[in-house]
């Protein structure tokens, strides 16, 4: 018994709208333990929609449609579904009344085109839409096949799913198990390298372990099928613990953790503070840090020292070093970190200087070259050189630079803590 998601709308095919509905429904199906193996996006074309329906109805038992329920001529989802099964559309007076009332509440009159939304296949049930004028349908046109339709507006679809579709599906015997997942996050290791380290775990039947990369980090999704969340957690946790140990310092967090939130936790735990000095990232590092609620407890502020004059006047960078080795260098990264730490009187100073491109690179300093400076307690100061690749996009280099800087601080603080615990 499997489900299939079919999203209708030419705007989705053109990329004008992000298909967040499919993501939401996929997550909901997983949380209910309902397997789904296929997703399709099809334009507002009745012929192609019927072709998709023919394939889907032959391989899946629950078909979930989103989009194409509006009053305009290109909203053809319900009409195409009814025509495919050879069933007439019937106007439902209660839908007409609902739409009329909703328009009246807005001080408007229902237009004739809106009556189209009151047409549903004969013998289908109404899937109410409390937030809009386009209702969906719940229909079982033949034994072993259930069809649900939803409008494309995400807020309307989500409410209809939670309030009506979920109770209906559970009453029909769907969702007797759940699929629960934990996401383990790693930074500083390639997906292939991590996959080799955890290879024996990739063949587990329950829970399953699957690696994938996203924006420079690697994730291991650990998923268990069980009758309840506590039972699933009991299956997942022993495996997750072993994976964390294998990952070592490359493992940084789970589920909603971010590099910024983990760094923030470490700073707050130690009673320490942080300031940043940024060049090529232009404030991106500060934005990551301040996206965490409560970051004002440990993050005091930063300096966006894009021009060398600012590096000199605000951060105390030596003009001779700038002239001799340039802004993108070990010496300047260190001085920027020390300068902002001193200027803002923080425990740690973290700096970034680099070449984000697409121009500005040279043979000796290509695009993607980045130096991270880190000034810590007891007047320690280090710098770390990274070559992020000349063919990466500017925003990718900037994001990776800020993430690497946070990861470097995280690793340094963890090593410092481990040393203190041992001594």
Residues near 19 by Cβ (< 8 Å), separated by ≥ 6?
Answer: 7, 12, 41
Indicate the residue among 223, 254, 285 that finishes a domain. Answer: 254
Give the CATH number, domain containing residue 243: 3.30.70.2860
Are 224 and 274 members of one domain?
no
Cβ of 23: how many Cβ atoms within 10 Å? 13
Cβ of 105: how many Cβ atoms within 10 Å? 8
Structural domain for 136, as ranges: 3-171
Indicate the residue among 254, 288, 318 that finishes a domain. Answer: 254
Q: Please report which helix (H) or strand (E) contains residue 289, including its range.
A: helix 284-290
Question: CB–CB of 69/151 below 8 Å?
Answer: yes
Are 189 and 79 members of one domain?
no
pLDDT on residue 13: 94
pLDDT along the chain (423 residues), means of 10: 95 94 95 93 96 97 96 91 97 93 87 89 96 95 97 96 96 90 96 96 97 93 93 97 98 98 98 97 98 98 97 98 97 98 98 96 95 95 95 94 98 89 69
Are 234 and 310 members of one domain?
no
Are 287 and 390 members of one domain?
yes
pLDDT on residue 177: 87
Q: Rounded to an integer, what distance in angstroms lies between the CA atom of residue 336 and that of residue 325? A: 14
Alpha helices in 307-393 (DSSP H): 308-315, 319-325, 330-344
The closest alpha carbon to 120, from 162, 92, 160, belongs to: 92
Are 301 and 354 members of one domain?
yes
Tell me, what DSSP letter sits at residue 375? Answer: E
pLDDT on residue 119: 95
Are 114 and 99 members of one domain?
yes
Indicate the residue among 124, 140, 171 that finishes a domain. Answer: 171
pLDDT on residue 423: 62
The closest alpha carbon to 62, from 28, 13, 88, 87, belongs to: 28
Are 9 and 138 members of one domain?
yes
Integer CA distances (angstroms), 374 to 159, 318, 328, 352, in order: 48, 17, 15, 9
Are 269 and 235 members of one domain?
no
- This prediction's pTM: 0.83
Parallel/antiparallel/unpaired status of strands 145-150 and 178-186: unpaired
Structural domains in the chain (count): 3
Give the CATH number, domain containing residue 352: 3.90.950.20
Peptide bond just before 358 cis, omega within 30 deg: yes
Parallel/antiparallel/unpaired status of strands 348-354 and 274-278: parallel
């Amino acid at each position: 018994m499997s489900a299939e998601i079919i999203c209708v709308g030419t705007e989705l095919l053109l990329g004008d709208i992000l298909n967040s509905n499919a993501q939401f429904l996929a997550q909901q199906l997983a949380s209910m333990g309902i397997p789904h193996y296929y997703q399709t996006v099809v334009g507002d074309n009745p012929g192609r929609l019927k072709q998709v329906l023919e394939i889907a109805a032959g391989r899946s038992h629950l078909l979930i449609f989103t989009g194409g329920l509006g009053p305009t001529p290109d909203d053809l989802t319900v009409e195409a579904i009814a025509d495919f099964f050879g069933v007439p559309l019937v106007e439902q007076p209660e839908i007409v009344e609902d739409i009329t009332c909703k328009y009246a509440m807005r001080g408007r009159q229902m237009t004739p085109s809106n009556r189209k939304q009151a047409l549903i296949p004969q013998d289908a049930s109404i899937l109410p839409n409390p937030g809009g004028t386009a209702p969906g349908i719940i229909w079982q046109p033949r034994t072993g096949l259930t069809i649900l339709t939803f409008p494309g507006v995400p807020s309307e679809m989500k409410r209809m799913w939670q309030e009506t579709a979920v109770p209906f599906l559970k009453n029909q015997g769907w969702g007797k198990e759940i699929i629960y997942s934990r996401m383990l996050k790693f930074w500083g290791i390639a997906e292939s390298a991590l996959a080799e380290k955890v290879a024996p775990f990739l063949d587990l039947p329950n829970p399953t372990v699957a690696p994938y990369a996203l924006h420079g980090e690697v994730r291991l999704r650990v998923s268990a099928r069980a009758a309840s969340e506590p039972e699933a957690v009991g299956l997942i946790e022993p495996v997750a613990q072993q994976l964390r140990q294998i990952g070592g310092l490359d493992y940084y967090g789970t589920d909603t953790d971010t590099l910024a939130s983990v760094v923030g936790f470490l700073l707050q735990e130690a009673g320490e503070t942080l300031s940043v000095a940024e060049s090529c990232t232009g404030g991106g590092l500060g934005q990551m840090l301040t996206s965490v609620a409560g970051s004002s407890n440990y993050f005091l502020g930063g300096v966006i020292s894009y021009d060398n004059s600012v590096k000199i006047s605000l951060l105390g960078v030596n003009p001779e070093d700038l002239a001799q080795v340039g802004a993108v260098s070990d010496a300047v990264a260190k001085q920027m970190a020390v300068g902002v730490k001193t200027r803002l009187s923080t425990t740690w100073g973290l700096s970034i200087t680099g070449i984000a491109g697409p121009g500005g690179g040279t043979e000796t300093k290509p695009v993607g070259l980045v130096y991270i400076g880190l000034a810590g307690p007891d007047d320690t100061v280090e710098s770390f050189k990274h070559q992020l690749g000349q063919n990466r996009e500017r925003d990718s280099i900037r994001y990776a630079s800020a993430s690497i800087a946070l990861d470097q601080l995280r690793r340094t603080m963890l090593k410092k803590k481990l040393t203190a615990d041992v001594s």
